[in-house]
Structure 1
Amino acid sequence: MRKTDIVAWTERWNEMYRSESEKIKRIFIDEMIDIYHIGSTSVPQIGYAKPIIDILVIVRDIHKVDLYNHEMAAIGYACRGEQGIAGRRYFTKGGDARTHHVHIYGNGNIHIDRHLNFKEYLLAHPEVAKKYGELKRTLAEAFPDNVHKYQEGKESWVAQIVEQSMKWVLKQNTKGEIGS
């Protein structure tokens, strides 16, 4: 059973992302458009996170990703298919002691903006990021042995911030302050 393990933010997570992203780039070299470090480990202002590196990969054709499942398995990933999100391919590394999640979307998928805008919003609003870190710690203490309850506890807060981040980025783009 997976545990809800929340630890203090560390620069090591950026190093882990860089190392893993190089491996992933080599696999998807013909399909990949871009790759990003996302999630709580990519935002130091949150202060705390599960020590799992979330990686977002944007590809030309989501259906071709399945052709690379063997290569992802060779570097330690389990293929989880869409895992409840249509148009996504999801890979996990580390079994019950996960170290990485890879979320792959075809270019133009709305979930790309949701992930990237959420991250950008938290980086630009450190007070909100800090509140998120506090929520994560509180939930981890309440549900140390139930990662699903931990996730459920964050859902409404995250949904609210995602909505705020989408509006914020749109406003920033209208002002010409953030590039597309």
Structure 2
Amino acid sequence: MRKVEVLNYDRQWSTAFEVEAQKLKRVFKDNMIVIFHIGSTSVPGLKAKPIIDILPVVKDIAEVDDYLIEMNALGYEARGENGIRGRRYFQKGHDNRTHHLHFFAKDNKEIIRHLAFRDYLRTHPLEAERYCALKESLAIKHSTDIHAYIEGKNAYVKKVEQKALVWFERFGNLHQHRF
């Protein structure tokens, strides 16, 4: 069972994202449109589990499956859609995960959901503080049960996502994220 650990923000998370993004661009070449750093490690100042979440946007999601050998060589394990239709999910590190990849095709609505949540937390520090407090308390309560930790965040995340999507549509750079 993986230990649930929420750490202080580390500026190196941004660097770790950039390093991995360059590797992915070399693998996926012309199919790659853009790569986003998402999740808690992408929000400056937010405490997080030290796992870098990356959202590559591709032209053709089916082509991602053609690169399993290259992804294995980079240390990734393919997990298919892993519960989200139209996604290709990969994880790096088995017991000590370091990266999660969430590939989506350019027209998938999940992209905006992830970007809205990230950008909302980046621009709403009080919401980020509430989220941080919840994650810290859940990490203490469920230090050896990642599933309980995730379930404990679920209702709060869904509530914030709804606010974030409305905010993103009104104030976010939605036009900037059209592919």
Q: TM-score scaled by structure 1?
A: 0.95
SS of residue matched to 1:9: coil
* 2:69 maps to amino acid: H
Deviation of 1:178 after TM superposition, in Å, equals: 5.8
1:25 matches 2:25: yes
Query: Structure 2 CA distance, aligned partners of 1:33 and 1:179?
Result: 15
RMSD over aligned Cα atoms: 1.1
1:123 Cα deviation (Å)? 0.7
Q: Unaligned stretches of 5+ in structure 2?
A: none
CA distance in 1, matches of 2:174, 2:150: 30
Answering whether residue 133 of structure 2 is matched by residue 134 of structure 1, we say yes
Using the size of structure 2 for normalisation, the TM-score is 0.95
> Aligned residue for 2:10?
10
Corresponding position of 2:152: 153
**Alpha-carbon separation, structure 1, partners of 2:102 and 2:169:** 24
Quick one: which amino acid aligns to residue 9 of structure 1? Y
User: How is 1:18-57 mapped onto 2 (pairs within 5 angstroms)?
Assistant: 18-46=18-46, 48-57=47-56
- One-letter amino acid of the counterpart of residue 79, structure 1: A
CA offset at residue 45 of structure 1? 3.4
**Which residue of structure 1 aligns with residue 93 of structure 2?**
94
Letter in 1 for 2:9: W
Q: What's the offset of the Cα at 1:179?
A: 3.8
The residue type paired with residue 151 of structure 1 is I
- Identity among equivalent positions (%) equals 46
Q: Can you list the C-alpha shifts for 1:44-66, whole angstroms capped at 9, x where unaligned?
A: 232x1000000000000111110
SS at match of 2:94: coil
Q: Deviations over 1:22-67 (max 9, x none)?
A: 1011111121110011000000232x10000000000001111100
**Structure 1 ranges of 4+ moved more than 3 A:** 177-180
Alpha-carbon distance between aligned partners in 1 of 2:70 and 2:130, rounded to the nearest angstrom: 39
Supply the distance in 1 between the matched residues of 2:175 and 2:43 (Cα, whole angstroms). Answer: 20
Contact 1:32 1:59 (8 Å CA) reproduced: yes
Q: Secondary structure at the match of 1:158?
A: helix
Counterpart Cα distance in 2 of 1:171 and 1:3 = 39
Paired with 2:7 and 2:168, the residues of 1 have a C-alpha distance of 29
Cα distance in structure 2, aligned partners of 1:119 and 1:157: 14
Tell me the number of residue pairs that the alignment of Structure 1 and Structure 2 aligns. Answer: 176
Structure 1: stretches of 5+ with no match in the other structure? none
